[in-house]
Amino acid sequence: MTRTEVLVIGAGPAGIAAATAAAENGRQVIVLDDNLNAGGQIWRGATVEKAGSSHQGNAAKRRAMTRLQQSGAQVLGGRCVFSVEASGTLQTLQETGSDSLVEQFQFDQLILATGARERFLPFPGWTLAGVFGAGGLQALVKGGYPVAGKRVIVAGTGPLLLAVAAHLAQDGAAVSSVLEQATLAQLAPFATSLWANPAKLVQGARYRGKLWKTPYRTGSWIIEAIAGSDGRKLGAVRVTNGTRTWEEPCDLLACGYHLVPNTEIAALLGCTFRGAFVQVDDAQRTSLPNVFCAGEPTGIAGLEAAMVQGEIAGLSCAGLIGTSLQKRAVVERAFARRMEKAFSLRPELRSLPRADTIVCRCEDVAFGSLHGRTSWTDAKLQTRCGMGPCQGRTCGPAVEYLLGWRPVSVRQPLFPVPLQAFCSHDERVEINQLKEKV
């Protein structure tokens, strides 16, 4: 059992800012993340550094990481939090090669900075090889997956599409289209409001600059991914703008429908929610004593919001109030609301899956099997939808959008944990010997 005053779950921008602020103000801090390295989604370190790549040297990341290192906060990577008790303990799983290890941590204060994940919506062909989540493909490319010379279409909704398309183009991909399902009329007020936020405007312009040859088609969405001549891999996509339908050839499709917050730990603890998000006050306090939350679980608002909220949460743990930061957080919250409205999903996306389109990829449940089911629990019991290793993280938000069913409960372990992880050293040695024999 490791003890600490402040435990931060998530080493993305929010968790880094929170840990730094708390540690700089005298608190003993441990940060846990299931990724090996700190950085979260946006600052995910390139595992294969490419010489001369301008993805390196992100100044904000460098500043944040340096401050974190100097703060004295301890970052423990490769630890996935799978259970937590409001009384002040949690358990992590660490997988090292063939072995798995469960560790326990005890804390006085907890900061949840667990970020968000992509929302996927099923459409015919979305399980073909070559179809990726937008952020998923970007993460693979950051890890060394080669896209140079490949024809890529980026589709779905949200500001992430431009960021991903720019990243892929910079890595040599031929990005032939960016397809945004939101209409120009939906996006226009959001785009105009960016004049009040020069940093975001510059960022958007920078992305667009890297994509000057690539059309950004609003009000357009993928209705089908079509296999190439081998029948297995993606060869083209069928696209519509509601009045016209056309096909575009491609090798890869990067498709995601904005983000959904990672709120399972908050739900497990019993924090109060505001819609899909964890409810927090101006000091990032949740409804539970000594539990704070920062970044995407409190609202999808982007990098600046995550850093500001993280810093407020860290200061709060040290008994301090960041008044000027709180004013910035209010501005960022308004930005999040505008973004949510701009990228709201069109109803036509609900009619994309056919009866044989897979919805739950872990358990191979087709959309047709959900007909006649009345709720998420009914679907789980009768079809095993959401019962696989991802525990509904992928199909849950899709089913919620398609059929309006909200998951009813979150249970621990949040992630599959091998029984071996709970065994003593001797038992593990015995299990490994048995495995070798088998």
Pick one of 10, 130, 314, 396: the residue that binds ligand FAD (CB under 6 A).
10
Whether the upstream peptide bond of residue 413 has omega within 30° of 0, thus cis, is yes
Distances (CA, A) of 162 to 82, 138, 190, 191: 33, 11, 15, 13
For the bound state, the minimum distance from the C-beta of residue 164 to ligand FAD, rounded and expressed in Å, comes to: 6
- Binding of ligand FAD by 42 (CB under 6 A): yes
**What's the CA gap between 284 and 294, in Å, rounded?**
6
* Burial track 300-323 (b if 16+ CB lie within 10 A, e otherwise): bbbbbbbbbbbbbbbbbbbeeebe
Size of the site for ligand FAD (CB under 6 A): 35
Q: Is 156 in the site for ligand FAD (CB under 6 A)?
A: no
- 296 part of the interface to ligand FAD, by CB under 6 A: yes
CB 385 within 8 A of CB 365: yes
Spatial neighbors of 106 by CB under 8 A, at least 6 apart, are: 1, 2, 3, 4, 88, 89
Q: Which stretch binds ligand FAD (CB under 6 A): 54-62, 282-290, 301-309, 322-330?
A: 301-309
Q: Which is nearer to ligand FAD, 115 or 130 (CB)?
A: 115
111 binds ligand FAD (CB under 6 A): no
Our finding on whether 90 is near ligand FAD (CB under 6 A) is no
Interface segment toward ligand FAD; rule CB under 6 A; list 10-18, 21-29, 58-66, 391-399: 10-18
| Binding status of residue 117 toward ligand FAD by CB under 6 A | yes
Q: Which is nearer to ligand FAD, 34 or 311 (CB)?
A: 34
Q: What is the distance between the alpha carbons of residues 307 and 294, in angstroms, rounded to a whole number?
A: 8
Q: How far apart are CA 240 and CA 198, in angstroms?
A: 33
Question: Which residues inside 338-377 make contact with ligand FAD, applying CB under 6 A?
Answer: none
Site residues for ligand FAD, 256-295, by CB under 6 A, read 259, 262, 265, 295
Q: Report which of 325, 271, 324 is spatially closest to residue 298, judged by C-alpha positions.
A: 271
- Selected binder of ligand FAD within 4, 7, 15, 268 (CB under 6 A): 15
Residue 320 CB, nearest approach to ligand FAD (Å): 20
Among 303, 329, 360, 362, the residue binding ligand FAD under the rule CB under 6 A is 303
Q: Which is nearer to ligand FAD, 10 or 219 (CB)?
A: 10
Minimum gap (Å) between residue 371 Cβ and ligand FAD: 31
Burial of 137 (0-12, 13-18, 19+ CB in 10 A): buried
Cβ proximity of 234 and 150 under 8 Å: no
**In terms of DSSP H, where are the helices of 157-279?**
160-170, 184-193, 198-210, 264-269
Query: CB-wise, 10 or 125, nearer to ligand FAD?
Result: 10
Shorter beta-carbon distance to ligand FAD: residue 79 or 373: 79
d(CA 72, CA 26): 9
**The one among 9, 22, 175, 266 contacting ligand FAD by CB under 6 A:** 9
Is 158 one of the binding residues for ligand FAD (CB under 6 A)? no
Neighbours of 256 (CB within 10 A): 25
Distance CA 381, CA 319 (A): 46
Measured from the CB atom, the residue of 219 and 388 that comes closer to ligand FAD is: 388
The residue ranges that bind ligand FAD (CB under 6 A) are 9-15, 32-35, 40-42, 80-81, 113-118, 135, 138-139, 160, 163, 259, 262, 265, 295-296, 302-303, 306
